[in-house]
Amino acid sequence: MLSGWIPLQLLLLVLLASGRVLQSEAASFCTKADQCAVGEEVNPAASVAQARYDHTRIYLVQLASEEHVRFFQALELASDSCSFMGHARVPGQKLTIMVTGSKVADFDDLVHSYNVTHRVLNYNFQALIDANYLEVAPETTPADQFDWKRYHPLESIYNWLENLAKQHPSVVTLVDLGSSTQGLPIKGVRLAFGRENVPSVFVESGIHAREWIAPATATYIIDQLLNSKDPEIREVARSQNWLIFPTVNPDGYRYTFVGDRMWRKNRALFGICRGVDLNRNFPFHWNVTGASGDPCRYDYSGPSAGSEVETQRIVQYLEQHSQAEKIKTFISLHSYSQMIMFPYGHTPDRVENYQDLKEIGQLAAQRIKDISGRIYKSGSIYETIYPSSGGSKDWAHGHLKIPITFSYELRGPSDSEDLFILSAREIEPTASEAFASLQTIVQEAGKRGYYN
Ligand SMILES: [Zn+2]
* Residue 89 pLDDT grade (very low, low, confident, very high; cuts 50, 70, 90): very high
Task: Answer whether residue 15 shows pLDDT above 70.
Answer: no
Task: Answer whether residue 109 shows pLDDT above 90.
Answer: yes
Do 57-124 and 143-447 fold alike per CATH?
no
Q: Are 407 and 342 in contact (CB under 8 A)?
A: yes
* Residue 10 pLDDT grade (very low, low, confident, very high; cuts 50, 70, 90): very low
What are the domain boundaries of the chain?
2-47, 57-124, 143-447
As beta bridge partners, residue 335 has 410
Question: What per-residue confidence (pLDDT) applies to 69?
Answer: 97
Query: Could you tell me the distance, in angstroms and rounded to a whole number, from the CA of residue 2 to the centre of ligand 1?
Result: 62
Decide if 409 is catalytic.
yes
Q: For 152-198, how does the pLDDT look when each residue is reduced to its tens digit (9 = 90+)?
A: 999 999 999 999 999 999 999 999 999 999 999 999 999 999 998 99
* Residue 2 pLDDT grade (very low, low, confident, very high; cuts 50, 70, 90): very low
Min mean pLDDT across 45-49, 190-194, 301-305, 339-343 is at 45-49
Query: Could you tell me the distance, in angstroms and rounded to a whole number, from the CA of residue 173 to the centre of ligand 1?
Result: 27
Min mean pLDDT across 31-40, 313-322, 351-360 is at 31-40
Q: For 261-292, how does the pLDDT look when each residue is reduced to its tens digit (9 = 90+)?
A: 999 999 999 999 999 999 999 999 999 998 99
Picking from 405, 410, 379, the residue whose alpha carbon sits closest to that of residue 394 is 405
Please give the average per-residue pLDDT across 56-60, as a whole number: 98
Query: Could you tell me the distance, in angstroms and rounded to a whole number, from the CA of residue 214 to the centre of ligand 1?
Result: 9
The residue type of 249 is: N
Query: Could you tell me the distance, in angstroms and rounded to a whole number, from the CA of residue 39 to the centre of ligand 1?
Result: 39
Distance of CA 219 to the CA centre of its chain: 14
Question: What per-residue confidence (pLDDT) applies to 31?
Answer: 43
Question: What per-residue confidence (pLDDT) applies to 24?
Answer: 38
Q: Which CATH architecture has domain 57-124?
A: 2-Layer Sandwich (3.30)
Cα angle for residues 409, 411, 415 (degrees, 5° grid): 90
Question: What per-residue confidence (pLDDT) applies to 424?
Answer: 98
Sign of CA dihedral 285, 85, 73, 53: negative
* Residue 46 pLDDT grade (very low, low, confident, very high; cuts 50, 70, 90): low
Query: Could you tell me the distance, in angstroms and rounded to a whole number, from the CA of residue 187 to the centre of ligand 1?
Result: 19
What separation, in Å, do the N-terminal and C-terminal C-alpha atoms of the chain show? Answer: 91
> What is the Cα Rg of the chain in Å?
24
Q: For 367-404, how does the pLDDT look when each residue is reduced to its tens digit (9 = 90+)?
A: 999 999 999 999 999 988 888 999 999 999 999 999 99
Query: Could you tell me the distance, in angstroms and rounded to a whole number, from the CA of residue 367 to the centre of ligand 1?
Result: 22
CATH class of the domain comprising 143-447: alpha beta
Spot the catalytic one: 409, 426, 428, 444: 409
Q: Are 319 and 311 in contact (CB under 8 A)?
A: no
Query: Could you tell me the distance, in angstroms and rounded to a whole number, from the CA of residue 208 to the centre of ligand 1?
Result: 5
